[in-house]
């Protein structure tokens, strides 16, 4: 049996510039981190005593004899990509619900690929793991997804990921431990209670991106990645968090202009309440439309923000830096 563990992510700046429809024309970049909330995938060889060849367990159970019969798109297309067609017992577990804007779909694809390679006795690079996951999601499943979630999931850590037509590169954000911990401690994350299909929300944004009408917004969002990097490098912890929060607020204001489906009256209301209670700024994770809202908040305003968002479930978390890894292996 093989068990892989792969983190989900918080994307702070540059989201939207990781779509090929934009970065192959202008280049793109994002700044984000993975957190200690994970997708787990177990893969085991299924004995020949069963009447089926493949069992897939998640929110439902699939018992099939051929890969083509599998409903779960990522399981099906990843197995096809790996030319695997039988005697597998696959189970998927997660710390947080899917469709909530933390990149859990890509976390699964990366983790599943990692587990299948481990089952073959192979270790591949984080870069290759991420690039193969991108290929599966974009070319085989045909989802409307960008290229950041897979890189975050594979590499882990607080990173700047840069996108060019020639390729994708990942580099860690240079930050002291004091600032790293202060940044982490200043983030509050709340579940809006709304789940959504990111691919459906992203479809409109991608269509708008293709018309080039969003280029000015996306160019500014791209530049904010490097503004944030400079803030982290040069400012003291408290000032850093204030400046990053203000940048997040600017980024959220711009993000809402990319598609009509990114926000709702409910989301605008709870965001405004958090700001009125003292939060510097924040955003919804992922494509928008629901999922998790994260805010940068000064220490003395955390109580007020929590009270303002009373009724929303808060998530306790820490940043993590390992990325996708095999945590259990037995022959």
Distances (CA, A) of 87 to 5, 6, 90, 116: 22, 24, 10, 13
Strand-pairing partners, residue 10, are: 33
Q: How far apart are CA 228 and CA 251, in angstroms?
A: 11
How far apart are alpha carbons 20 and 146 in whole angstroms?
A: 7
pLDDT at 245 over 90: yes
Among 3.30.230.10, 3.40.50.1000, 3.30.1950.10, 3.40.50.2300, what is the CATH number of 2-174? Answer: 3.30.230.10
Ranges for all domains in the chain classified under CATH 3.30.230.10: 2-174
The CATH superfamily holding the domain 177-319 is GHMP kinase, C-terminal domain (3.30.70.890)
Lowest mean pLDDT among 267-271, 279-283, 287-291: 287-291
**Confidence grade of residue 130 (pLDDT, cut at 50, 70, 90):** very high
Measured CA to CA, the distance from residue 182 to residue 209 in angstroms comes to: 35
Q: Helices 148-155 and 104-119 meet at what angle, rounded to 10?
A: 50
Structure tokens at 330: 């037995």
Confidence band for 212, pLDDT divided at 50, 70 and 90 = confident
User: In Å, what is the CA distance from 196 to each residue of 30, 108, 155, 201?
Assistant: 22, 17, 26, 8
- CB atoms under 10 Å from CB of 201, counted, come to 21
Domain with CATH 3.30.70.890 in the chain: 177-319
Per-residue confidence band for 198, with pLDDT thresholds at 50, 70 and 90: low
What is the biggest distance separating any 2 CA atoms in the chain, rounded to whole angstroms? 63
Helix residue ranges, H only, the chain = 20-26, 73-81, 104-119, 126-135, 148-155, 177-186, 198-210, 215-234, 237-255, 265-276, 302-308
């Amino acid at each position: 049996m093989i068990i892989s563990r792969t983190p989900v992510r918080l994307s702070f700046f540059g989201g939207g510039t990781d779509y090929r429809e934009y970065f192959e024309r202008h280049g793109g970049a994002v700044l984000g981190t993975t957190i200690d909330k994970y997708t787990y995938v177990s893969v085991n060889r299924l004995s020949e005593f069963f009447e089926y060849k493949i069992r897939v367990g998640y929110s439902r159970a699939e018992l099939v004899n051929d890969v083509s019969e599998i409903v779960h798109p990522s399981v099906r297309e990843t197995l096809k990509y790996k030319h695997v067609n039988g005697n597998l017992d696959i189970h998927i577990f997660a710390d947080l619900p899917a469709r909530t804007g933390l990149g859990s779909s890509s976390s699964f694809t990366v983790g599943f690929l990692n587990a299948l390679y481990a089952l073959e006795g192979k270790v591949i690079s984080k870069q290759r793991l991420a690039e193969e996951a991108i290929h599966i999601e974009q070319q085989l499943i045909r989802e409307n997804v960008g290229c950041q979630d897979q890189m975050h999931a594979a590499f882990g850590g607080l990173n700047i990921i840069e996108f060019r037509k020639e390729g994708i590169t990942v580099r860690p954000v240079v930050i002291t431990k004091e600032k790293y911990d202060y940044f982490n401690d200043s983030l509050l994350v709340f579940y809006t209670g709304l789940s959504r299909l990111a691919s459906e929300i992203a479809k409109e944004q991608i269509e708008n991106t293709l018309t080039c009408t969003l280029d000015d917004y996306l160019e500014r969002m791209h530049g904010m990645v490097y503004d944030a990097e400079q803030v982290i490098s040069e400012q003291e912890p408290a000032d850093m968090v204030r400046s990053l929060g203000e940048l997040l607020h600017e980024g959220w204001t711009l993000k809402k202009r990319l598609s009509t489906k990114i926000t709702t009256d409910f989301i605008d209301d709870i965001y405004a309440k958090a700001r009125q209670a003292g939060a510097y700024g924040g955003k919804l994770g992922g494509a928008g439309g629901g999922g998790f809202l994260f805010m940068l908040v000064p220490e003395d305003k955390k109580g007020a923000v929590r009270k303002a968002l009373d009724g929303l479930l808060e998530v306790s978390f820490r940043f993590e830096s390992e990325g996708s890894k095999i945590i259990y292996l037995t022959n």
